[in-house]
Structure 1
Amino acid sequence: MPTARIYQRPKNAMQSGKHRTDLWQLEFEPHEAQRADPLTGWAGSGDTQGQVRLGFPTLEAAKAYAEREGIAYLVVPAPEKTLKLQSYADNFR
């Protein structure tokens, strides 16, 4: 039985915007470890489910899909957002 994790997309650290952070992702857990290719040295495996990422508008939709398809899942809660409040003058202290 395939296993997956459902999580909410985090904000991109390189951008200030929050585009698509309200979407939920279903991502399959790897079934085999990656190994280095002897010719190129690149890491890879025969597990093609590791390439699959499904997006859902809500957590309930992602759970319903996993249950309908018989996929065992683990919901990873989104980390709490903390604001670091400071004034512009704090840069010069």
Structure 2
Amino acid sequence: MASVMLRSTSLLTKNSGAAWLVSNISTSSSKLSDDIKVKAAQKEAPLLKHDLALINPGEVEHRRRLQGYITVTTPEVISPISGIPEEHIKERRVRIYQPPRNCMQSGTDNINVWEIDFDTRERWENPLMGWTSTGDPHSNLKVQFNNKDEAIVYCEKNGWKWFLQEKTTKQMKPKSYGVNFSWNKRTRASTK
């Protein structure tokens, strides 16, 4: 819409000066219609983002392709590009397990995780102090996962052979403190 300044002769001030009014004039080429259905059916031109308006169509197509997801049909193996030497990848076995509960007073903290642990490699002993050393960077590495499936996928991506060690649970028998003092032959200590 454009604004036009119109001089009104009907509005005169006391000083006999002319007053100015501002009126809006439509500059579009559309025909005015009183029918609401016709106005609702009219389509507006699509708005373009200002940064995309001046680039060529090839660049627009390239940006559109970059926003999508890349699908990989082959299994993902990152070991060739990870930079880890081959001797740490090829003959490596990984144990996937649930660590036992800490015997301190931590209760049930950190017991629902899965860890991976690497097999031990050659070690040598320091003759002076008796300490053992290794050149293996994975010897003390422990990585935690939320479930065993994540750990399996991680091992397969890195090209490691893995085996799953399930947690063995014992059936706990209900016991009470009064059993220690029950009067039967099995628990009673003889004084003779």
Q: TM-score range by the shorter chain?
A: 0.7 to 0.9
Identity %: 33
1:1-93 correspondence runs (5 A): 1=90, 2-15=92-105, 17-32=107-122, 34-93=123-182
Q: Deviations over 1:22-61 (max 9, x none)?
A: 10001111122x3321121112222221111000000000
Gaps of 5+ in 1: none
Alpha-carbon distance in 2 for matches of 1:16, 1:82: 22
Displacement over 4 Å in runs of 4+: none
Gaps of 5+ in 2: 1-89, 183-192
Alpha-carbon distance in 2 for matches of 1:39, 1:65: 40
Q: RMSD over aligned Cα, in angstroms?
A: 1.7
State the TM-score, normalized to the length of structure 1. 0.85
State the TM-score, normalized to the length of structure 2. 0.44
Q: Is the radius of gyration larger for structure 1 or structure 2?
A: 2
User: Aligned to 2:110, what secondary structure does the other structure show?
Assistant: coil
What one-letter code is carried by the residue in structure 1 that aligns with 2:103?
Answer: A
User: Aligned to 1:10, what secondary structure does the other structure show?
Assistant: coil
Task: With a CA cutoff of 8 Å and minimum separation of 6, indicate the structure with the bigger relative contact order.
Answer: 1
User: How many residues end up aligned between the 2 structures?
Assistant: 92
User: Aligned to 2:95, what secondary structure does the other structure show?
Assistant: strand
